[in-house]
Amino acid sequence: MNRLSTAKRAQVVTALVEGNSIRATSRMTGVAKGTILSLLADLGEACATYHDEIVRGLTTRRIQADEVWSFVGAKMKNATEEKVAAGWGDVWTWTAIDADTKLIVSYLVGQRGADWAKAFLEDVASRVSNRIQLTTDGHHVYVDAVESAFGADVDYAMLIKLYGAPVNPESRYSPGEVIGTETKIRCGRPDPKHISTSYVERQNLTMRMSMRRFTRLTNGFSRKPENHEHMLAIYFMYYNFCRVHQTLRVTPAMEAGLADHVWSVEEMVSLAEPKSILDGFTLAA
């Protein structure tokens, strides 16, 4: 079987991380759907492994964490028991972003319960090397999860948004207007000026714009949980290492000292090669 060239694979990945569905990408690039799904799986695993190994030892000061909803196959209310057993239903993506470098420090795909919060924040804690200020929303499972992950070695606050009644009560996707916020200090002495979730919430919007699987009212949603996870791994790799942040004018990985140049998509897709182009590439110290 003929293997796609690096340039063609980069073309496919670029289409995917810029918000195109699998079928649209197939039409645009001339690459078969099955081939794209195979590339998605191979590169997704490689990107997840690279992130796990490299994004560590961070000296970040402020981290914001949140969780964003999506679904696989069907929304939970529409999924049969058989489909739920196969991984269909609501899915939550937990993300933690460095407020200064805009680096995605950690992410986790799963459910919204206490066990998932604990696993997510323990992963965040394993990637930082100093005391941080952490801000989350008011989701109650964060409190015990933060204590489990950081103990008392964290400055932690919750930012709770207060909503008014929806303007159109029949609207399914328009929450009520934010009429105020409330902060709760949960641990340590967080700086009130930096109790915020604005960056991680903006990242949620960027995710929805950059991955067709997250777009509301779409037929481009994931059909398999594995493909959903693979796409997220590719997206976060692209966001951290390839995409120049408009404000920073470098990539988040460069700002965090994890890379010394802007990665090309060709470099990223080469991670899935048995012998990567990055074997001769030296990361910044």
pLDDT in tens, 53-94: 999 999 999 999 999 999 988 888 888 888 888 888 999 999
Does residue 283 register a pLDDT over 50?
no
d(CA 45, CA 236): 12
pLDDT of residue 170: 57
- How does 67-78 read in b/e, with b if 16+ C-beta sit within 10 Å? bbebbbbbeeee
Of 178 and 148, the structure prediction assigns the larger pLDDT to: 148
Q: Report residue 1's pLDDT band, with 50, 70 and 90 as the boundaries.
A: very low
The letter for the amino acid at 280 is G
pTM of the model: 0.89
Range with the poorest average pLDDT among 14-23, 96-105, 157-166, 169-178: 169-178
d(CA 192, CA 176): 26
In order, the DSSP letters of 1-63 are -PPPPHHHHHHHHHHHHTT--HHHHHHHH---HHHHHHHHHHHHHHHHHHHHHHS-SB--SEE
Q: Report residue 281's pLDDT band, with 50, 70 and 90 as the boundaries.
A: very low
For the segment 129-149, the average pLDDT, to the nearest whole number, is 97
- How does 40-63 read in b/e, with b if 16+ C-beta sit within 10 Å? bbbbbbbbbebbeeebeebebbbb
Retrieve residue 23's tokens.
């079928």
Retrieve residue 197's tokens.
């979730």
